[in-house]
Amino acid sequence: MTKQTADANIDHLPEARVERKRGRTVPAVWLIPIIAALVGGWLVVKGILEKGPTITVTFKNAEALEAGKTKITYKNVDVGEVKSIKLSPDREGIVVTAELVKDAASYLVADTRFWVVRPRIAGGQVSGLGTLFSGAYIGMDIGKSATEQREFVGLEVAPIVTADVPGRHFVLHAETSGALQIGSPVYFRQEAVGTVVAHELNKDGRGVTFNVFINAPYDRYVTSDARFWNSSGIDVSLDAGGIKVDTQSIAAILIGGIAFESLQGSTNQAPASEDQEFFLANTRAEAMKRQDVMSRPFVLHFAKSLRGLSVGAPVEFRGIVVGEVKSLNVEIDDSFTSIRFPVYVDIYPRRLLNLVRGEGPTMAMDEASLRTRWNGMVAKGLRGQLQAGNLLTGQLYIGVDFFPDVPAAHIDWANTPPDFPTISGGFEEFEGTLSSIVKKIDSMPLNDIAADVRHNLKALNRTLDSADRFIRGMDQVSPTAKSALDEARKTLKLAERTLSTDSPVQYELQETLRELGKTAQSLRLLTDYLERHPESVIRGKKDGDR
Amino acid sequence: MNQRPMTARQLGLCACHTCGLLSKWERGHVDLTCPRCRSHLHLRKPDSIARTWAFLIASYLLFLPANLLPIMHTNSLFGAQSDTIMSGIVYLWVSGSWHLALVVFIASILVPSAKLLALTFLAVSVQKRSQWDPIQRTNMYRIVELVGRWSMLDIFVVSVLVALVQLQSLATIRAGHGAVAFGAVVVLTMFAAMEFDPRLIWDPQDDAS
Ligand SMILES: [Zn+2]
């Protein structure tokens, strides 16, 4: 295109139309940054608002935990996420910092608990299998406390019972933990109604304390005099009714179990209060026998040998068991002149005091009134005494009874355990008498007597001979007298035969006595053996055992 | 021709954006319409700098949440996580895909911020009627416009993933708030570039001659 044509074309161009002037307005385009500011602000505010509370939980180790991935769940709902994992300042564990959802603030109270859920096989139960696929997560149990908290110490194992499960906790004291472990079931009439949630050795090393949780509504069957016993294993008992086998379930045999029942005919059937303490007996029979949780230790000092008295032997008041022998000992004083035999017993005061007419379990049981009662009874002559339980087996037991004429004594409360007065007698006395008889027999001049007797017999013989001659001399005088003498001679001969050692009567008597002795001995062997091998009642005697 | 080239504005001419008709205009008049199709006639895009600024400011406002808020929430067998653009890049980098990390970094962080800075520079220089190297600035504008539509890589990846990986129980992916902000930034910078009239770069030269 040349310049000319361009110029020419410009001349021919149309004029643009002039519009009427529009008023200047704020350009609508400025709305855009305003909207952007609003949107951006809203996004940021929303981000901040959605940010929930941050907590820290301390665990022993960080196994299976991962920052930015591990979730915190409550009832399988994700309520938070682990943000970072650091070594704790004391290097004892790790500190997990986690951010929870906004609503979670109210869950974070003092008794809220956290634990790591990993696949776990324990207590006969498999748990957390889902975590094999999803990875571990942190479980949470919301507490009931009102105090807010942001720093927690994580549990090493998942709690068996979470705070939202209705029911009650009880405390059981036992001598050994047996097969029981966390998660072992608690049975009521062979129904699993609870679980063992914790157990630990007592601080003093004597016994084990269990914490059991009984689910509602079964917790109301735990009455204040409920009896708990360890139902792990098989309880075989032999009584007049035959052999009785008592077990709760296969699970109880495998992983242990506890059973409980309320005492039949008891007046105290009110539901037990939370955390009430009970004794955990080893067998049902023991549980039913044991009247009291409250036992009072005493020591009884005896002067004579305790042979025949064993741990577990009863303390009886006229046939009623009021206690149990816990241990035996020997004490020799420094000068080796006197030997004492202390017997440590547990007496269940409620049992003994319940025997007092007109007073029931309602009676005050505080320490002061208890001591007053004990002191009163001792003043009336209550004493402990070693008594023979079974002459055949030689078992002894401790009897307590009132002896009105004994010299005054008192319980030495200053001693631990208190020293309970004793008297000799009972078996001791019997033994004493026996030995004094033996002594007397011993001290008899038997040989002299025997010589005398022989001498007298010879004399008698001579007398008889001379009498014989004399009688023969006067045969005709008195035939009647002669026949009387003959009779007397015959009788004497018979008596002689009877008394001679090889006479049949003597032999039979000895034989009977020997048999009796053998029977007694084998009976004692049998009881000994049964005591050591109770299972032989079922399995029979093993060849190796003798 | 030795003569300095003339622009349409200097000749008092204006082309219609709609029908292409060239028409004469009188100085002093601002509101003109095309004699043939009645479209509004503009010598330069009206309020170009102001509009560019508006979009730029909006972009800046959203650039922060775009980079700070998570762009993607994933929930899979391997756990759940929320990724911001930067954490995604870091993840790619430490997991060994450094080349992918580089691509995402360039497309999602470097380019958008470079674009914002370039547009800001152009807007400022035009407003101050700077006469500095108009060729360079024009090139800069050209690159900004060209690159604009390719900076949606993150949004693209997120939308493809969200569409593909809805295997529900196995994995779920949700776009986060950051994605909204990021998409808005990309769109707003495109608008800012669109509103910018590159002829304004040259106007001070013409006026000075
Ligand atoms: Zn037109």
Closest-approach residue (CA) in chain B for A66: B79
Identify the pLDDT of residue A141.
Answer: 85
Mean pLDDT of A353-379: 67
Contact between B25 and A16 using a beta-carbon 8 Å cutoff: yes
Identify the pLDDT of residue B120.
Answer: 92
Beta bridge partners of A278: A172
% of chain B surpassing 90 pLDDT: 2
Alpha carbons A210 and A163: distance in angstroms, whole number? 18
Residue B22 touches chain A, beta carbons under 8 Å: yes
Residues of chain B with C-beta less than 8 angstroms from the C-beta of A117: none
Ramachandran bin of A98, using left for φ above 0, alpha for ψ from -120 to 50, beta for the remaining angles: beta
pLDDT(A245) > 70: no
Query: Smallest Cβ distance to B32: which of A17, A27, A43?
Result: A17
Tell me how many degrees the CA angle A293-A296-A301 measures, rounded to the nearest 5: 145
* Banded model confidence at residue B1, pLDDT cuts 50, 70, 90: very low
Give DSSP secondary structure letters for A229-240: EE--S-EEEEET
Pick from A58, A54, A55: nearest CA to A94:
A58
Residue A58: how many CB atoms within 10 A of its CB?
A: 16
pLDDT(A353) > 70: no
pLDDT(B176) > 70: yes
Contact between A70 and B65 using a beta-carbon 8 Å cutoff: no
Best mutation site among A7, A13, A46 for testing chain B: the one with the most B CBs within 10 Å?
A13
Phi, then psi, of B117 in degrees rounded to 5: -65, -45
Alpha carbons A463 and A453: distance in angstroms, whole number? 15
Alpha carbons A442 and A242: distance in angstroms, whole number? 49
Best mutation site among B61, B69, B189 for testing chain A: the one with the most A CBs within 10 Å?
B61
Computed over every residue of chain A, the mean pLDDT equals: 75
pLDDT, tens only, B114-166: 888 998 999 999 888 888 888 889 998 888 888 776 666 667 776 776 666 66
Contact A384, A300 (CB under 8 A): yes
Query: Smallest Cβ distance to A27: which of B13, B41, B50?
Result: B50
Residues of chain B with C-beta less than 8 angstroms from the C-beta of A16: 14, 23-26, 29, 32-35, 41
Identify residue A395 by its one-letter amino acid code: Q
* Banded model confidence at residue A281, pLDDT cuts 50, 70, 90: confident
pLDDT(A3) > 50: no
pLDDT(A60) > 70: yes
Which segment of A382-391, A405-414, A510-519, B113-122 scores lowest on mean pLDDT? A510-519
pLDDT, tens only, A297-335: 889 888 877 777 888 788 888 877 788 888 888 888 888
% of chain A surpassing 90 pLDDT: 0
Identify the pLDDT of residue A201.
Answer: 85
Mean pLDDT of B29-35: 75
Residues of chain A with C-beta less than 8 angstroms from the C-beta of B69: 43-44, 47
Give DSSP secondary structure letters for B87-120: HHHHHHHHTT-HHHHHHHHIIIIIHHHHHHHHHH
Contact between A17 and B24 using a beta-carbon 8 Å cutoff: no
Best mutation site among A4, A12, A19 for testing chain B: the one with the most B CBs within 10 Å?
A19
- Measured in angstroms, how far is the CA atom of residue B26 from the centroid of ligand 1? 17
Best mutation site among A4, A7, A22, A32 for testing chain B: the one with the most B CBs within 10 Å?
A32
Q: Pull the structure tokens for residue B153.
A: 């890589």
Sorted by sequence, the CB contacts under 8 Å of residue B82 that are 6+ apart come out as B70, B72, B73, B74, B176
Q: Pull the structure tokens for residue B1.
A: 């021709």
Alpha carbons A374 and A252: distance in angstroms, whole number? 42
Contact A225, A261 (CB under 8 A): no
pLDDT, tens only, A7-34: 556 667 777 777 665 555 566 778 888 8
Contact between A33 and B61 using a beta-carbon 8 Å cutoff: yes
Identify the pLDDT of residue B121.
Answer: 92
Alpha carbons A177 and A257: distance in angstroms, whole number? 11
Strands A191-201 and A208-215: antiparallel
pLDDT, tens only, A425-447: 655 555 666 667 667 777 777 67
Q: Pull the structure tokens for residue A430.
A: 């019997």
Query: Smallest Cβ distance to B180: which of A21, A35, A43?
Result: A43
pLDDT(B187) > 50: yes
Closest-approach residue (CA) in chain B for A80: B80
Distance, in angstroms, between B146 CA and closest chain A CA? Answer: 23
Beta bridge partners of B12: none
Contact between B50 and A29 using a beta-carbon 8 Å cutoff: yes
Alpha carbons A302 and A304: distance in angstroms, whole number? 6
Tell me how many degrees the CA angle A183-A187-A191 measures, rounded to the nearest 5: 110
Residues of chain A with C-beta less than 8 angstroms from the C-beta of B14: 16
Mean pLDDT of A351-380: 68
Identify residue A429 by its one-letter amino acid code: E
Alpha carbons A96 and A105: distance in angstroms, whole number? 17
Alpha carbons B97 and B158: distance in angstroms, whole number? 18
pLDDT, tens only, A176-190: 877 777 778 888 887
- Measured in angstroms, how far is the CA atom of residue B12 from the centroid of ligand 1? 17
Contact A165, A131 (CB under 8 A): no
Alpha carbons A489 and A487: distance in angstroms, whole number? 5
**Residue B161 CA to its chain's centroid (Å):** 25
* Banded model confidence at residue B169, pLDDT cuts 50, 70, 90: low
**Which ranges in A302-443 belong to alpha helices (H)?**
349-354, 367-379, 427-443
* Banded model confidence at residue A507, pLDDT cuts 50, 70, 90: low
Alpha carbons A266 and A350: distance in angstroms, whole number? 14
Please provide the distance, in angstroms rounded to a whole number, between the alpha carbons at the two ends of chain A: 135
Residue numbers of B between 57 and 96 with CB closer than 8 Å to A: 57-59, 61-62, 64-65, 68-69, 77-81
Query: Smallest Cβ distance to B23: which of A16, A19, A70?
Result: A16
Contact A107, A131 (CB under 8 A): no
Higher pLDDT, B166 or A349: A349
Mean pLDDT of A491-509: 61
Which residues in A have their CB inside 8 Å of a CB on B?
10, 13-22, 27, 29-30, 32-33, 35-37, 39-40, 43-44, 46-47, 66, 68-71, 78, 81, 133-135
* Banded model confidence at residue A247, pLDDT cuts 50, 70, 90: low
Half-sphere exposure of residue A377: CA atoms within 13 angstroms, side-chain side:
19
* Banded model confidence at residue B2, pLDDT cuts 50, 70, 90: very low
What secondary structure letter does DSSP report for A516? Answer: H
Tell me how many degrees the CA angle B161-B163-B167 measures, rounded to the nearest 5: 85
Contact A222, A272 (CB under 8 A): yes
Contact between B79 and A70 using a beta-carbon 8 Å cutoff: yes
Residues of chain A with C-beta less than 8 angstroms from the C-beta of B9: none
Residue with token string 């564990």: A93
Identify the pLDDT of residue A195.
Answer: 84
Mean pLDDT of B64-70: 84
**Which ranges in A302-384 belong to alpha helices (H)?**
349-354, 367-379
Identify residue A314 by its one-letter amino acid code: P
pLDDT, tens only, A251-273: 666 667 888 887 766 666 677 77
Residues of chain B with C-beta less than 8 angstroms from the C-beta of A14: 21, 23-24, 35-36
pLDDT(B196) > 70: yes
ipTM at complex level: 0.75
Which segment of A46-60, A71-85, A453-467, A530-544 scores lowest on mean pLDDT? A530-544
Residue B6 touches chain A, beta carbons under 8 Å: no
Sorted by sequence, the CB contacts under 8 Å of residue B54 that are 6+ apart come out as A27, A29, A30, A32, A33
Q: Pull the structure tokens for residue A259.
A: 């059973």
Give DSSP secondary structure letters for B133-150: -HHHHHHHHHHHHHHHTT
Distance, in angstroms, between A55 CA and closest chain B CA? Answer: 18
Ramachandran bin of B42, using left for φ above 0, alpha for ψ from -120 to 50, beta for the remaining angles: beta
Mean pLDDT of B28-36: 75
